[in-house]
Structure 1
Amino acid sequence: MSRAPAVLIVEDDEILAASLVTRLTLEGMRPTLATTCEAAIDALARIRFDAVVSDIRLPDGSGEDVFWSEHERLGPTPTIFTTAFGDVEQAVRLVRLGASDYLLKPYDLGALVTRLRDLTEDAPAGREMPAGSAAMARVLTALDRIAGNRENVLLTGPTGIGKQTLARRLHAASGAPDRPFVTVEGAALTGAEGERLLFGAIEGGVEHQGLLDDVGEGTLLLAEVGDVATDFQPRLSRVIGERLWRPLGAREEKVFAGRVVATTSRPIAELLADGTLRRDVYQRLAVFEVAVPALAERREDILPLALGLLADAGRLRADLAGLAFAADAEAALTAWDWPGNIRELRNRIVRAVTLADHPEIDAAALFPDVAVLEESADHKLEAARRDAERQTIEATLAENNGRIVDTAKALGISRVTLWSKMKRLGINKT
């Protein structure tokens, strides 16, 4: 079972918002609606989204505020802005700063769905995780050693680091790769709906199978275990510890014969301290606990990863042959700290390839936000220098009653240099 992409919709128009939620749900995506800037930023802090669709104008702010909230925390998440004609200039500027695209209202929902599929499409199955670094080599060695063991595994590490890819690798090496691999998001396990989803139910004499039935003797990937509702966790604990569960409405229990691989991006100590994760659930999941290092801690892996992702992204641009990174792009890739890890790396490469007009991807294409912001900072610094220089010359002129010779002498420059600076800075002799 492939993972349905999670999409944040930021839209305050009730009719349009309802249409978006319905259409994306029918398309197999997992939409979350936020009608205000504040609600969107709160959702981004709690949930890992694969893409964002945001209006520019919101009741309490701007879609730009939403964009930068996620950008500063985890790097660029694929973002599509929707805008009225009057806000096109702002939308174009945001695309230059790293947004994926913009659509003019009213827009075709089919076109939006197609664009979202391009942006959230998974990399081809079987993509190997590079292990040129000692840190990653230790992780892969540990996974290889426990692959044949059916005990539960907990993968920890920052968001976007590839924990789900590693879970699939573990499953493939388990000795029974043809058995099911089923993913469930921790946030989906809440209330009766969560119980029906995981355990199944007998309703009206008809049995509806849950995900545990689908797993069989395969692997259940529990993504972000810290998002599981606390009142749901006792039932989860019984499944992963005693391997028993009972569907809703059933009298007899079933035996779980599969393996649970759980992930968390939040530190375990933090989850346990604030009661988000029950200690018994943690202890039963962490029979084997493997910490996956951040991308910045294994820089030797960045370029091999980037090259693989570039090849994947190239499938979106059949018109561009011979895609490659320019020398400055390779240097920038290895120098960047990657707050969003592999997720950010993929997003930057997909965006650069999608917008490219030639096959050589340079640093500016990968880091348009950095280039523009640095350019803006340079302009501000230059303006500050000019202001300071103007104020100094004007003050010195005033102290010397406008006498050029005395002013130049006081400043330690020649009269010609002073005249030149006064002309450039628009200072008139008084």
Structure 2
Amino acid sequence: MSSSLQILVIDDEPAIRQILAASLTRAGHTVETAGSGREGLMRLSKGDVEVALCDINMPDLTGIEVVREASKSGYDTTFIMMTAFSSVDTAVEAMKAGATDYMIKPLRSEELLQRLAQIADLRGLRGENEALRKLVVGRSDDRCPSVSPSMKQLDRLIAKVAPTDSTVLITGESGTGKGVTARSIHQQSQRAGAPFIPVNCGAIPENLLESEFFGHVRGAFTGADRARKGLFLEADRGTIFLDEIGELPLELQVKLLHVLEAREIRPLGSEQVRKVNVRIVAATNRDLKAMVDDGRFREDLYFRISGFHVTVPPLRERREDIPALIRYLLARGGERFGVAGKLMLEPEAEEILVSYDWPGNVRELENVLQRATILADEGRITVADLPPNITPSTPVGAAAPLATGRGQLREQVRDFEHGLILRAIEECGGDRRAAAQRLGIGLSSLYRKLEEHEQARGAQSTAEP
């Protein structure tokens, strides 16, 4: 057999489910079962089942109906249909519905394993062909082209590290696009045809992390009524993206280090280890070096995951990318909301978007544009369609009238920004470092903005008669 497969047996007869599950598990496959067509569809919805052995005659949904629904949903599952009644018409109907193969009960174990080996080889070949196609055609990812020097340097680093198997650590503020960067590394690698499995380490309850990562056998703990493959095995031959890796508890950090060093996992409750071929890309918005110093992150794990380190710059440090990013996000949002090609952004609104500091980075910009798309009349996004927190208004302690000229607008945005900074400093008791943290900007940026405002005010006073 070429490799292990994730198999789902769908049959309303318990004895058949048990016999097939036992036989296929002994052969090295990961097997789950479903006692009805509807239960089978629910399990298929997770999207990780590679092969489904599905009975045709079932009381709730027939096997052919299951195949049709799975095909509509786009599941990447190979179906082998099972029936006790040899019928050419039924076989033809099953193939039309999307099935790949057809076997008569009782299934012969040797024949079934041979067909599964062929399927595993074909799936592996398909992945290799897709990876080759992407390498020949060129980069195929959903990152917006950039013009800023910092992002061009990031693109160069990605192009260098992607073809290797090096572990990569991606750092950057929340919302900068660390996940998109990780996916780009995968899509430009030789693993592009294999799975890319993103995992938010901070979103999984601590008591479930080990089971989610490494899987478990049936009966490993209360409620474990079936075996689970685990995310590392799901990512086999591909890439696992560990987002917010700084949230991992120390106990799991030890086990992750073992996976990196030994390239093997042990499912919870099992005495057997499984070899795994996975590339690890990790990301965090936290200072892992400081966490190492505080004893909250293992130093040896830090050195293993940071073999190649890239940083995604915040949006405020690459404002020249914002106009192209706006067009890209509007085009993508327009398709989502059914107004593709019909959106137009007024220059005044664009100037505000470029001037804003975006503490939430690209994620915040995308949310603002989605809101504006919904509010826009006839596809025309104006200043009025932007949220109040980013649009110019009279700053605290000032009474400047609203201006509409381009130069006046820039001045008003600067005054509004200055008012926010002064208010933050006041609310933080004069602590400018704390004010910068509250505003989501660096301390040097805060001082620079205060200095720019004073220089602008000085120039304005000199120009007045």
> Which residue, out of 113, 132, 150, partners 2:165?
150
TM-score, normalised with respect to structure 2:
0.52
Structure 1 gap ranges (5+) = 1-26, 29-124, 383-430
Q: In the alignment, which residue of structure 2 is the partner of 1:194? A: 209
Aligned to 1:260: 280
Amino acid at match of 1:173: Q
Amino acid of the structure 1 residue aligned with 2:150: A
Q: Is the 8 A contact 1:244 1:255 kept in 2?
A: yes
Matched AA of 1:331: E
Q: Percent identity?
A: 34
Q: Which residue is equivalent to 2:443?
A: none
1:331 aligns with 2:351: yes
1:129 lines up with 2:144 in the alignment:
yes
Deviations 1:10-35 (A, max 9, x none): xxxxxxxxxxxxxxxxx99xxxxxxx
Shift of 1:275: 2.8
- For residues 161-220 of structure 1, give each alpha carbon's deviation from its aligned partner in whole angstroms, at most 9, with x where no partner exists: 001001111100002311000011112455441111110011249632101110011000
* Residue 236 (structure 1) aligns with: 256
Query: After superposition, what is the alpha-carbon deviation per residue over 1:239-295, rounded to whole angstroms, capped at 9, x for unaligned?
Result: 123322211111121222110100001123332233332212211111111111111
**For 1:209, what is the secondary structure of its paired residue?**
coil
In structure 2, do the counterparts of structure 1 residues 334 and 227 end up closer, same or farther at CA, with 3 Å as the change threshold? same
Asked if residue 139 in structure 1 is aligned to residue 154 in structure 2, the reply is yes
Letter in 2 for 1:157: G
Structure 2 vs 1, CA of residues 272 and 294 (structure 1 numbering), >3 Å: closer, same or farther?
A: same
Please say if residues 187 and 229 of structure 1, whose CA atoms lie closer than 8 Å, have aligned partners that are also in contact: no
Deviations 1:31-72 (A, max 9, x none): xxxxxxxxxxxxxxxxxxxxxxxxxxxxxxxxxxxxxxxxxx
1:165 to 167, 170, 180: 180
User: 1:368-412: CA deviations, max 9, x gaps?
Assistant: 22347x247478789xxxxxxxxxxxxxxxxxxxxxxxxxxxxxx
Distance in 1 between residues matched to 2:355 and 2:178, nearest whole Å: 23
Q: Which amino acid aligns with 1:233?
A: Q
C-alpha deviation, 1:132, in angstroms: 0.4
Q: After superposition, where does 1:293-312 map in structure 2 within 5 Å? A: 293-312=313-332
> How many Å apart are 1:228 and its aligned residue?
1.1
Which amino acid is the alignment partner of residue 149 of structure 1? T
Partner of 1:54: none
- Aligned partners of 2:380, 2:203: CA distance in 1, in Å? 42
**Is the Cα contact below 8 Å between 2:214 and 2:229 reproduced in 1?**
yes
Partner of 2:371: 351
Q: Is the deviation greater in 165-174 or in 185-194? A: 185-194
Whole-Å separation in 1 of the counterparts to 2:312 and 2:237:
26
Change (3 A) 1:280 1:370: same
Rate the CA distance shift 1:354–1:201 in 2: closer, same or farther, 3 A: same
SS in 2 for 1:309: helix
Partner deviation per Cα, 1:322-374 (whole Å, 9 max, x = no partner):
201111122112211111110111011001111222322123322422347x2
> What is the aligned-residue RMSD (CA, Å)?
2.5
2 CA distance for matches of 1:129 and 1:319? 20
Q: Are 2:239 and 2:278, in contact at CA under 8 Å, matched by a contact in 1?
A: yes
Q: Distance in 2 between matches of 1:189 and 1:246?
A: 19
CA distance in 2, matches of 1:160, 1:195: 27
SS in 2 for 1:368: coil
Does the 8 A contact of 1:320 with 1:358 survive in 2?
no
Does structure 2 conserve the Cα–Cα contact (< 8 Å) formed by 1:189 and 1:195?
A: no
Q: Give the counterpart of 1:281 among 272, 278, 301.
A: 301
Distance (whole Å) between structure 1 residues aligned to residue 376 and residue 328 of structure 2: 18
Greater relative CO (CA pairs within 8 A, separation 6+): 1
Q: Which residue of 1 aligns with 2:386?
A: 366
* Distance change in 2, residues 1:291/1:379 (3 Å): closer
Structure 1 residues 192 and 370: alpha-carbon distance in aligned structure 2, compared to 1, 3 A threshold? closer
* Structure 1 residues 375 and 317: alpha-carbon distance in aligned structure 2, compared to 1, 3 A threshold: farther
Q: What is the SS of the residue equivalent to 2:202? A: helix
Residue type at the aligned position of 1:214: E
For 2:255 and 2:204, how far apart are their aligned partners in 1? 10
Which region of structure 1 is more displaced relative to structure 2, 135-144 or 269-278?
A: 269-278
Q: 1:303 to 1:381 in 2, by over 3 A?
A: closer
Amino acid of the structure 2 residue aligned with 1:279: E
Aligned residue number for residue 313 of structure 1: 333
1:341 to 357, 361, 369: 361
Identify if the C-alpha distance between structure 1 residues 303 and 201 changes in structure 2 by more than 3 Å, giving closer, same or farther: same
Q: Which runs of 5+ in 2 are unaligned?
A: 1-44, 47-139, 221-225, 402-465
1:356, 1:362 → 2: CA distance?
Answer: 7
Structure 1 residue 145, shift from structure 2 partner: 0.4
Contact 1:161 1:343 in 2 (8 A): yes
Mapping of residues 30-69 of structure 1, within 5 Å: none
Partner of 2:281, secondary structure, is: strand
Change in CA separation of 1:137 and 1:378 when aligned onto 2, cut-off 3 Å? same
One-letter amino acid of the structure 1 residue matched with residue 272 of structure 2: E
What does the per-residue CA deviation read over 1:53-103, in whole Å, with 9 as the maximum and x for residues that have no partner? xxxxxxxxxxxxxxxxxxxxxxxxxxxxxxxxxxxxxxxxxxxxxxxxxxx
Cα distance in 2 for partners of 1:191, 1:175 equals 33
Choose which of 260, 265, 269 in structure 2 pairs with 1:249.
Answer: 269
Within the alignment, does 1:174 sit opposite 2:214 as a pair?
A: no
Please tell me the residue identity of whatever aligns with 1:246: R
Does the 8 A contact of 1:321 with 1:359 survive in 2? no
